[in-house]
Every structure is written in structure tokens, then in C-alpha cells.
């Protein structure tokens, strides 16, 4: 790290320690999350920047925070299967519930849609930010430095793999095997319920109208009836019905692995040193640097330090921020360096896409980060670039709002014992890694300044 910047790197690490040890877990909409916002607003006031706080409603359990419900749903279906063997009309109820469940799971937990929020308990979360203007108050563009303030529920299976921390492959197998088996069991229950409901429905139609009458009405109905007759009398179907006497026990056990995925207790939640006190701390350290060194400020640039709430509940804070400011001019000619987890020194990288969200981030910023890694001699096991394969990051709502954005991280992308667990503590990583992240951000801001001078704002380059 550059010697003149060392104090800012240490400042960032001190904030990380305060967030993880003094405040602790900060679930979406929790008192802990509010405490970190209050703390960072106080830090902004210390350097003469007025903070702004914007509240919004969040339903933490309607999205990814409610994945445990999928396990409970699988257990319920497993139990109901035994009743459905004696009362076959129950398959219809199970099928309808299964379809609704899959729609909720896909769109709310995977795609982060807010359609189901109204059906879950709500809390009040917040975004907080401060603006640093040029000395003359005039600016042509904006750079938003963002990090999310909340932490995740502890993922029990990841935390349990701590005993394999020196054998990460075994940890991955232990985690993915349980969760993968559980997911198969849950979806198998839904699939069986729908298939049995279809078979039962065809039977009721046949028993109501009779095979010959159906043939007179429409040949296609007759073909469906013959299909049912072939299924119902097949040896495979008879064997399957016998399997249903045992299968629910297996699927209930698998579903239990999903049910216990997220620890519901706030006191056991992630302390969030890496994810994402580092992002919060580095955003503040950078704006403090420019406040104290106005001669280093990019020309005609406004810098915003934003603490984004409820990312772990499905990007709710960045969605709220983008919706609030998309049409009021704040996001016009805007760049966003989203900082999320800077701790693993061998994994410096720029996240260029959220695969599940179908959102490709800005290529110009991507190149700036890659060039910076090369210039600083940073070697990364991910070659300095990754897609976010699951979930999402706060760059997605910003990109969709027309902001040039990428997410900067230094995090092992493989599932590990400290990711989303209470073991995410500052002792695990070195202050120097956070300090190096500070230097990376300053270098990218210099490149943004040069780009703006030569090209102006060109919109999101995908």
C-alpha cells in the first residue's frame, strides 16, 4: 500500500472490527443494521458531510431469507402423501400448493421479485448516504461508492463444514451433498403431487362421463382416457404406489436439510466482517480521503458514499435507492463502484454479471479494474473476473437504472465455512488486504476521471 494512504486502510479495517465486534449481526431491518447506519452517519458528520437517511419497508423472509420454508414445505408434502394414498382428492390441494410454492421460490428467492412481500412480516430498513461536492459545487457526473450494511442468517451447513477448513474439498462435499439432496427431495415431492393430481383428474373425468361418451365428444379425450388406462394398469405404476409407502420418509429427511439451512436466530447470524463491513468501510475511507485531499478529487465530479440496506433480503436497499432517485437527477451521468467483500487476498476480482438476474454490468468499469489489477501486480486465482452464479449483488438495480456499475470483491467464490456464517470475523483476514482494496478503488477512480475527460458519459456499456 502507498505509505501516504496507509492511515485510510487502517481506518477501514478499524470500522470492520467495530461493525463485527461491537455491533455484531445486522440482519435486514434489524436493530443491528440500524446501529451500523447510525455509526456511519456519525462518521460522515465527523468529516463535515451531512448524511441523508431514507427508510423503506422490507420483508426479510419473503425472499432468500425464507429458503428454510422450502424445507418445511417439503416435510409437509411428505406427511400429506400418506393421507393422499387414502384420500386421493388431496393430491389436487398438494399440486396447487406445489405450483404456488415453485412460483414463489423461483421469482422471489431466485429472481428477487417483490410480488410476495405483502404476505410476509415487514420491517423497516434504511439506506444512508453522504455527498461530497467539488469546492465550487459544480459537477458533470457522479461516482457512487456503495456497500451493503446488513448481514446474512448463518447458513448452518456451511458453518458445520468448519471442521474441514483445512480440507475445503470435503467441506464443499459435506455442504453441497446435504443441500443438493434436500433440494431434489423438495422438488420431487412437488413433481409427484402434480403428476398424481393429473392422473386423479383424468380418472374422475372418465368415471363421470364414461369412455364411450368421451369418444363421441372428442377423439383427443378418448386418447387421454386410453393413456390413463395404460398408466393405471401398468406394472410400473403399481410398483410406484408401493414405493410411495417408503419414499415420503426419505423426502422428509432430505427436506429437513433444507429447513435447517438458515439459522433463524439473530444472535447466531453472520457478524459480517468480510460481507460486508469491508464494503461499508472502504466506501467511507475513500470519501474521507477526498474530503481531506480536495486537490485529488476527480474534475467536475460528485462523490457519494452510500450504505445500502437489506441486500441479503434480495437487493431491497439498492432497489429502493434506484427507484427513489431514477427520475430526480441523482443517477444521471452516474458511475457506481459497488464494494462487496474485500478480504481474501488471493481472489481480487471484478464481478461482471449476475447470472440469475440476467444482468450484465458495465464493460468500461470492468476493464478499469482489470487494468488496475495488472498495474498493481495483483495475481488472482479467479483471473480477476467472475460472474455471480447465484443470488445477486447491488450492481444489478443500479445497472438497470442506467448507472455504469460493477461489483469489486476479493472473496473466494466457492462456498466456505465463513461465508454467511457467524465465523465471518476480522481475525480471519489481514488488514493489508483491505488496504490494498483502498488503493484499487483510488486507481479506478483516476481511470474514471480520465475516461470522463476524454469521452464524457457514454451510458452502460454491456
**pLDDT, tens digit, 9 for 90 and up, residues 185-197:** 999 999 999 999 9
Give the Cα separation of 249 and 304 in Å (integer): 54
Select the more confidently predicted residue: 371 or 5.
Answer: 371
pLDDT tens profile 396-426? 999 999 999 999 999 999 889 999 999 999 9
The answer to whether the beta carbons of residues 145 and 304 sit under 8 Å apart is yes
- pLDDT confidence band for 173 (50 / 70 / 90): confident
* Three-class DSSP labels, the chain: CCHHHHHHHHHHHHHHHHHHHHHCCCCCCCHHHHHHHHHHHHHHHHCCCCEEEEEEEECHHHCHHHHHHHHHHHHHHHHHHHHHCCCCCHHHHHHHHHHHHHHHHHHHHHCCCCCCHHHCCCEEEEEEEEEECCCCCCCCEEEEEEEECCCCCCEHHHHHHHHHCCCHHHHHHHHHHHHHHHHHHHHHHHHHHHHHHHHHHHHHHHHHHCHHHHHHHCHHHHHHHHHHHHHHCCHHHHHHHHHCCCHHHHHHHHHHHHHCCECCCHHHCCCCHHHHHHHHHHHHHHHHHHHHCHHHCCCCEEEEEEEECCHHHCCHHHHHHHHHHCCCCCCCCEEEEEEEEECCCCCEEEEEEECCCCEECCHHHHHHHHHHHHHCCCCCCCCCEEEECCCCCCHHHHHHCCCEEEEEEECCCCCCCCCCCCCCCHHHCCHHHHHHHHHHHHHHHHHHHHHHHHHCCCCCCC
Instruction: Please check the confidence at residue 385 and state whether its pLDDT lies above 80.
Output: yes
What's the average model confidence in pLDDT over 422-436? 96
Whether the per-residue pLDDT at 228 is higher than 80: the answer is no
pLDDT tier, 212 (very low <50, low <70, confident <90, very high otherwise): low
Residue 317 has pLDDT above 90, yes or no: yes
Given pLDDT bands bounded at 50, 70 and 90, which one contains residue 205?
A: confident
Residue 130 and residue 140: Cα distance in Å, rounded? Answer: 18
> Is 197 exposed, middle or buried (CB count within 10 Å of its CB: 0-12, 13-18, 19+)?
buried
pLDDT tier for residue 215 given thresholds of 50, 70 and 90: low
Give residues with Cβ within 8 angstroms of 39, minimum separation 6: 18, 19, 23
The predicted-structure confidence for 46-65, as pLDDT tens digits, reads as follows: 999 999 999 999 999 998 88
Give me the mean pLDDT over the 90-118 stretch. Answer: 94
Lookup: cell for 121: 412480516
pLDDT tens digits, residue range 323-360?
999 899 999 999 999 999 999 999 999 999 999 999 99
Superfamily in which the 3-58+123-153+267-455 domain is placed by CATH:
Zn peptidases (3.40.630.10)
Task: Please list the residues that pair with 338 across neighbouring strands.
Answer: 146, 407
Provide mean pLDDT across the span 355-382: 96
Nearest to 306 by CA among 327, 270, 334: 334
Would you place residue 240 in the very low, low, confident or very high pLDDT band (cuts 50, 70, 90)?
confident
Share of the chain above pLDDT 90, in %: 81
Q: Averaged over 18-28, what is the pLDDT? A: 97
Domain segments of the chain: what residues?
A: 3-58+123-153+267-455, 66-111+172-259
Rounded distance, CA 303 to CA 321, Å? 16
Cis before 436 (ω within 30): no
143-153: pLDDT as tens digits = 999 999 999 99
Q: Which of 9-13, 368-372, 415-419 has the lowest mean pLDDT?
A: 415-419
Amino acid at each position: 500500500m502507498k505509505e501516504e494512504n496507509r492511515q485510510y486502510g487502517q481506518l477501514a479495517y478499524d470500522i470492520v472490527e467495530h461493525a463485527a465486534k461491537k455491533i455484531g449481526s445486522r440482519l435486514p431491518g434489524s436493530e443491528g443494521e440500524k446501529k451500523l447506519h447510525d455509526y456511519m452517519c456519525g462518521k460522515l458528520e465527523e468529516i463535515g458531510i451531512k448524511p441523508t437517511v431514507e427508510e423503506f419497508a422490507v420483508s426479510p423472509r419473503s425472499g432468500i431469507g425464507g429458503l428454510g420454508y422450502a424445507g418445511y414445505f417439503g416435510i409437509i408434502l411428505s406427511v400429506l402423501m400418506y393421507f393422499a394414498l387414502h384420500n386421493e382428492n388431496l393430491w389436487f390441494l398438494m399440486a396447487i400448493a406445489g405450483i404456488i410454492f415453485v412460483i414463489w421460490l423461483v421469482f422471489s428467492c431466485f429472481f428477487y421479485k417483490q410480488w410476495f412481500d405483502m404476505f410476509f412480516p415487514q420491517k423497516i430498513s434504511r439506506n444512508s448516504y453522504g455527498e461530497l461536492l467539488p469546492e465550487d459545487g459544480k459537477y458533470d457526473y457522479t461516482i457512487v461508492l456503495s456497500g451493503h450494511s446488513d448481514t446474512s442468517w448463518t447458513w448452518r451447513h456451511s458453518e458445520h463444514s468448519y471442521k474441514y477448513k483445512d480440507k475445503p474439498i470435503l467441506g464443499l462435499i459435506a455442504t453441497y451433498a446435504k443441500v443438493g439432496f434436500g433440494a431434489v427431495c423438495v422438488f420431487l415431492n412437488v413433481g409427484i403431487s402434480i403428476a398424481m393430481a393429473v392422473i386423479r383428474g383424468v380418472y374422475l373425468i372418465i368415471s363421470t362421463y364414461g369412455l364411450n361418451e368421451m369418444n363421441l365428444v372428442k377423439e383427443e379425450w378418448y386418447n387421454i382416457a386410453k393413456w390413463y388406462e395404460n398408466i393405471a394398469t401398468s406394472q410400473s405404476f403399481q410398483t410406484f404406489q408401493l414405493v410411495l409407502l417408503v419414499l415420503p420418509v426419505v423426502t422428509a429427511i432430505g427436506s429437513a436439510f433444507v429447513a435447517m439451512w438458515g439459522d433463524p436466530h439473530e444472535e447466531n447470524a453472520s457478524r459480517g466482517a468480510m460481507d460486508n463491513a469491508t464494503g461499508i468501510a472502504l466506501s467511507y475511507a475513500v470519501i474521507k480521503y477526498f474530503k481531506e485531499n480536495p486537490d485529488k478529487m476527480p474534475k467536475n465530479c460528485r462523490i457519494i458514499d452510500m450504505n445500502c440496506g437489506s441486500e441479503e433480503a434480495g437487493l431491497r436497499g439498492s432497489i429502493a435507492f434506484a427507484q427513489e432517485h431514477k427520475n430526480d437527477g441523482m443517477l444521471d451521468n452516474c458511475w457506481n463502484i459497488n464494494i462487496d467483500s474485500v478480504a481474501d487476498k488471493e481472489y481480487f476480482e471484478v464481478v461482471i454479471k449476475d447470472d440469475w438476474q440476467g444482468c450484465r454490468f458495465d464493460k468500461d468499469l470492468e476493464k478499469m479494474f482489470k487494468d488496475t489489477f495488472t498495474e498493481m501486480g495483483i495475481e488472482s486465482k479467479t483471473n480477476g473476473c467472475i460472474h455471480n452464479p447465484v443470488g445477486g449483488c447491488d450492481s444489478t438495480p443500479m445497472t438497470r437504472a442506467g448507472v455504469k456499475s460493477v461489483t469489486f470483491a476479493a472473496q473466494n467464490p466457492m462456498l466456505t465455512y465463513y461465508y454467511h456464517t457467524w465465523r465471518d470475523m476480522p481475525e480471519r483476514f489481514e488488514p493489508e488486504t483491505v488496504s490494498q482494496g483502498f488503493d484499487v478503488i483510488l486507481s479506478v477512480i483516476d481511470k474514471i476521471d480520465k475516461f470522463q475527460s476524454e469521452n464524457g458519459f457514454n451510458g452502460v456499456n454491456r
